[in-house]
Amino acid sequence: MDPELSAHLTQQHLSAAIYGFEALMSLCASWSPLSEVIPLWDYLLTFGPHHVVFLFLAHMQLRREELLGCHSAGGLQKLLKTSPAEGWQAGRICRQAAHLAKSCDPKLYERVRRHTINPTVG
């Protein structure tokens, strides 16, 4: 969804399996404080657990410039796990995630939806 950011992460030898694993597997519970996680869970309960992918992508988009400005794998991983200076802004992440889901190609959206129930989709 962002070729430039994807290429930057790839240049640092980071794959989505590495930088997204913790947030995706914990349904964003690894992000804190809990007061910011609860709205994310509300969003997931409303739209489905597969939307955790869109929440993570939204988080990455909102921190895009910071990520592009970082040139080490360790620094990138730390940025993706730590709170931005202005806080998590769960409402902003949820709005961006909803926008990403709505603008997603229908075939890709269906793959994202099915990945939570079908282990062969990836």
Residue 122 pLDDT greater than 70, yes or no: no
d(CA 97, CA 54): 5
| Per-residue pLDDT at 78 | 86
Residue found under tokens 């995706």: 24
Residue found under tokens 């070729």: 3
Residue found under tokens 């950011």: 5
Beta carbons within 8 Å of 104's beta carbon, 6+ residues apart? 1, 54, 112
The DSSP output letter for 20 is: S
| 52-100 confidence digits (pLDDT tens) | 999 989 999 999 999 999 999 999 988 888 777 777 789 999 999 999 9
The CATH topology of domain 3-114 is Cyclin A; domain 1 (1.10.472)
Ordered by start, the domain boundaries in the chain are 3-114
The DSSP output letter for 72 is: S
This prediction has a pTM of: 0.86
| Per-residue pLDDT at 110 | 94
